[in-house]
Structure 1
Amino acid sequence: MRKVNLIFGTVYGNAQFVAETLRDDLQKLGREVQLFQSDELSSFIPPQDETLLIVSSTTGQGDVPDEILPWFEMLKSQAPYLPNLRYGVVALGDSSYDTFCQAGIQFDELLTELGAHRIGRLLKIDACETMEPEVSAKAWLQIWNTQIDIETS
């Protein structure tokens, strides 16, 4: 079973709570999971033999949260080629804004540019419709988890 590296970017704590919930669920499913704090990301390049899961809220005008922006910018500037990395994204946002879930979308686009392959669909959770984002994320995780170890060609 592939290890999951879990990274979150939060503004008000929702993305962190969702990430912690997903970590707990993945561990219950028998996965090894490492939940990274923002201060552990300065030079982190995701290992390609492990899986990356990003949970991010959106701030400002569709921006990546400040706590993980330096990591996002580092990946963007160093542009490591990651053709064997498989990843997932859970994006939290508010559909009343034009920039709905834009931070998660930016992570998805960056990882695709770096050659990585997304597992399943990008999950967008709308704060206007969902009072408990972890419930939607847990349902999505059940499908996502079954796809982690499926090799792509």
Structure 2
Amino acid sequence: MEIDLIVGSMLGAAEYVADEVEQQLLDQHQVTQHLDADLAELKTDGSHVWLICTSTHGAGDFPDNIEPFMSQLQQERPDLSQLKYGVIALGSSQYDSFCQAGRDADQLLQDLGATRIGERLEIDAVEEPVPEDVALEWLPQWREQLEAQ
């Protein structure tokens, strides 16, 4: 199974998490990390799985590097009924918009027909100073559910 790791990061935390997750996945999967994702370059036919790893910026906004991709999905509204995906959302519970970008990405993909594998992971910077550790604890269960597909 090939995995497209789509990263949204402003200050680098989501990139660090994505790097650690990628290293763990490489033992069994081909992984391509996308810091500037473009829908035209991604497979939506079920041959690839998308794993979104994004922080939340501002008042619940997508980070600058993933915002064009999310806008592209909203405008083009592709049929993603063959696509399976996962979401790792980073945020701070000090804000009302906690993990909003990850939640919005999750909802958008579902609205376009995609099927989420496992539960969305929400990492709270207040509770978890090392978000990579939380992601690596979550990853084995996500992989099991991926393999069961």
Common topology (TM > 0.5): yes
Identify which of 103, 109, 112 aligns with 2:110: 112
- In 1: Cα distance, 2:43 partner to 2:57 partner: 24
Moved over 4 A (4+): none
Q: SS of 2:93's equivalent?
A: coil
1:79-94 aligned within 5 A = 79-94=77-92
Which ranges of structure 1 fall in alignment gaps of 5 or more residues?
A: none
Cα deviation 1:36-66 (Å, max 9, x = unaligned): 121x526334432211000000001000001
When normalised by structure 1's length, the TM-score is: 0.93
Which ranges of structure 2 fall in alignment gaps of 5 or more residues?
A: none
CA drift of 1:84 comes to 1.4
The corresponding residue for 1:23 is 22
Q: CA RMSD in A?
A: 1.2
The corresponding residue for 1:144 is 142
- The number of residue pairs the alignment matches comes to 148
When normalised by structure 2's length, the TM-score is: 0.95
Q: SS of 1:97's equivalent?
A: coil
Identify which of 41, 46, 69 aligns with 1:44: 41
Q: Is the 8 A contact 1:42 1:70 kept in 2?
A: no
Cα deviation 1:4-52 (Å, max 9, x = unaligned): 1101000110000100110000013x111111121x5263344322110
Q: SS of 1:124's equivalent?
A: strand
